[in-house]
Amino acid sequence: MNPRGDTWMALFPPLAGLPEAERGMLATRAAAAALPAGTTVFEPQQACGAFLFVTRGSVRVYQLDQDGNEIVLYRLGPGSICILTTMALLAADRYSAYAVTETEVEAVALPGPTFDDLMGRSPRFRGFVFLAHAERMADLMRVIQNVTFESIESRLAARLLALAADRGTLSITHQQLAAEIGSAREVVSRHLKAFERRGWVSLARNRIEVRNAASLRGAAGDADA
Amino acid sequence: MNPRGDTWMALFPPLAGLPEAERGMLATRAAAAALPAGTTVFEPQQACGAFLFVTRGSVRVYQLDQDGNEIVLYRLGPGSICILTTMALLAADRYSAYAVTETEVEAVALPGPTFDDLMGRSPRFRGFVFLAHAERMADLMRVIQNVTFESIESRLAARLLALAADRGTLSITHQQLAAEIGSAREVVSRHLKAFERRGWVSLARNRIEVRNAASLRGAAGDADA
């Protein structure tokens, strides 16, 4: 971190309204952390105890079923905080979620006691943390809506578009895509082959090229990627 | 409430550890509320602002999809607090959840400012609220696991056993059962008829009798009702 140690706070607009003394606590007691891609930030039964502000990169939060299949719950990017690390201190045994860095990630870690100190003294900081809780609850509700009510095809089309973004090509296995949308690999492969027959995508080993984004958007409908 | 106004707190063991002054705040500023069955406690875009401690009865929290189908997220019984009412103040527009009393419900309502006051002054109260957040997040993760990974049959068997409890008979429509497990009425009816053919249940109009709980338990497997 820079000498003053608070430039990272610009990524978290709600922190701008904190009184100077509280910004000072954050600046002096938080520590920068760099995590290589593939680092487990959180897993069941293991609480980390520090409160993480993500400043660069992406953390994937997902669940596993008994067969080891993944379903992605949400992603944390710059400007996000990881509420599971602190909640796990209270209810670690109740979670089935994992959080793993999917790129190199830079974060700022606030020790548990400082987090609790700020929660006690700062209504603004509390508001900030509660808003993050509310957003993650909303994320989980969205996942439920997706997996329950929307067809595999619309979810798959929406997710392909979101993952391909502007590049048009994505490097991903059918197994990984199945994890993204909460389905099985076989089901995803079958739908991808149907998409290919219609000229919407081209399939190669671990690679999917989007050839007709407009048709995929049509199929995606209201599905939330 | 009784004159002293704090007997309800016995239903919330974490509150027993609060200092006398904080228990006093709860006792004097909270107000008893009686809600008839079918009362909407919370709905999208509408925040109630009070923090609710449920002392009797049951509140069903669920989502609706675009076709108006329900999926039950969790239930709040005696000893539960309703975190959505307070979080909605921060992020009401992000939620798609409804909360409706499914029996007559008695609750104690704490005004928003008193809630925030206690959050600021009481680490124990904060811990209590965070634990409730953690539990509801875990509930949503369990719903995701259920709808994503488990077969309709095992979910249906598990839910029938849970709803029938010791009575052996339940009054419920196939549509309501479908909402419980996040499926469609037609799918549920088909599976119920299969259960009936195997002698596991008897079906009548809006009524299901469990005739072979052991077989249902076998089908339920690890499904979490």
Domain end: A147, A175, A196, which one? A147
CA distance B199 to B192: 11
Beta pairing class for A70-76 and A81-82: unpaired
B205 Cβ contact partners less than 8 Å away, ≥ 6 residues apart: none
Question: Are B126 and B209 contained in the same domain?
Answer: no
pLDDT along chain B (225 residues), means of 10: 70 90 92 94 75 94 73 92 72 73 94 88 88 87 76 82 85 87 78 91 93 87 53
A interface with B, Cβ–Cβ below 8 Å: 63, 65-67, 69, 71, 73, 84, 86-88, 90-91, 94-97, 116, 119-121, 123, 126-127, 130-131, 133-138, 140-145, 147-149, 182-183, 222
Q: What is the mean pLDDT of residues A112-127?
A: 88
Mutate to test the interface with A, among B69, B119, B124, B133 (most CBs of A within 10 A): B133
Give per-residue pLDDT as tens, A50-96: 889 999 999 999 987 655 667 889 999 999 998 877 666 555 556 67
Q: Look at residue A225 and tell me whether its pLDDT is greater than 50.
A: no
If one counts the domains in chain B, the total is 2
Band of the pLDDT at A1, cuts 50, 70, 90? very low
Under 8 Å between Cβ of A165 and A210: no
Domain membership of residue B199 as a residue range: 151-220
Question: Are A117 and A166 contained in the same domain?
Answer: no
Instruction: Kindly give the residue spans of alpha helices, DSSP state H, lying in chain A.
Output: 20-29, 83-91, 112-121, 123-149, 152-164, 174-181, 185-197, 213-220
Smallest CA–CA separation between B69 and chain A, in Å? 8
Question: Are B139 and B199 contained in the same domain?
Answer: no
Name the residue of chain B whose CA is nearest to A61's CA.
B141
Contacts of B138 in chain A (CB under 8 A): 91, 94-96
Mutate to test the interface with A, among B148, B151, B180 (most CBs of A within 10 A): B148
Beta pairing class for B40-42 and B70-76: unpaired
Nearest to A144 among B94, B136, B143 (CB): B143
Confidence at residue B218, expressed as pLDDT on a 0 to 100 scale:
82
Confidence at residue B2, expressed as pLDDT on a 0 to 100 scale:
47
Report CB contact under 8 Å: A134, B96.
no
Report CB contact under 8 Å: A148, B149.
no
Q: CATH number for the domain including B110?
A: 2.60.120.10
Domain end: B82, B114, B147, which one? B147
Question: Are B99 and B34 contained in the same domain?
Answer: yes
Nearest to A141 among B95, B126, B142 (CB): B95
Report CB contact under 8 Å: B145, A86.
no
Contacts of B143 in chain A (CB under 8 A): 144
Under 8 Å between Cβ of B43 and B96: no
Q: What is the mean pLDDT of residues A127-133?
A: 86
Question: Are B185 and B115 contained in the same domain?
Answer: no
Contacts of A148 in chain B (CB under 8 A): 65, 71, 147, 182
Question: Are B32 and B116 contained in the same domain?
Answer: yes
Name the residue of chain A whose CA is nearest to B95's CA.
A138
Question: Are B169 and B64 contained in the same domain?
Answer: no
**Closest C-alpha among A30, A221, A56 to residue A110:** A30
A176 Cβ contact partners less than 8 Å away, ≥ 6 residues apart: A70
Q: CATH number for the domain including A159?
A: 1.10.10.10
**Closest C-alpha among B83, B59, B96, B63 to residue B136:** B83
Q: Is residue A225 part of a domain?
A: no
Question: Are A126 and A196 contained in the same domain?
Answer: no
Domain end: A147, A176, A196, which one? A147
Confidence at residue A6, expressed as pLDDT on a 0 to 100 scale:
77
Question: Are A129 and A37 contained in the same domain?
Answer: yes
Give per-residue pLDDT as tens, B172-222: 999 888 878 767 777 788 889 989 998 999 999 889 999 999 888 888 864
Instruction: Return the structure tokens found at B86.
Output: 């307070």
Confidence at residue B93, expressed as pLDDT on a 0 to 100 scale:
58
Question: Are B118 and B54 contained in the same domain?
Answer: yes
**Closest C-alpha among B136, B224, B125, B210 to residue B182:** B224
Nearest to A133 among B69, B87, B141 (CB): B87
**Closest C-alpha among A122, A131, A200 to residue B86:** A131
- Give the Cβ contact number of residue A166 at 10 Å: 4
CA distance A41 to B135: 20
Question: Are A62 and A108 contained in the same domain?
Answer: yes
Higher-confidence residue of A4 and A144: namely A144
Q: What is the mean pLDDT of residues A175-204?
A: 86
Smallest CA–CA separation between B194 and chain A, in Å? 22
Q: Is residue A173 part of a domain?
A: yes
C-alpha separations of B44 from A73, A74, B86, B209 in Å: 21, 21, 13, 36
Report CB contact under 8 Å: A94, B63.
no
* Residue A163 CB burial class (10 angstroms; 0-12, 13-18, ≥19): middle
Question: Are A32 and A119 contained in the same domain?
Answer: yes
Confidence at residue B53, expressed as pLDDT on a 0 to 100 scale:
94
Confidence at residue B47, expressed as pLDDT on a 0 to 100 scale:
64
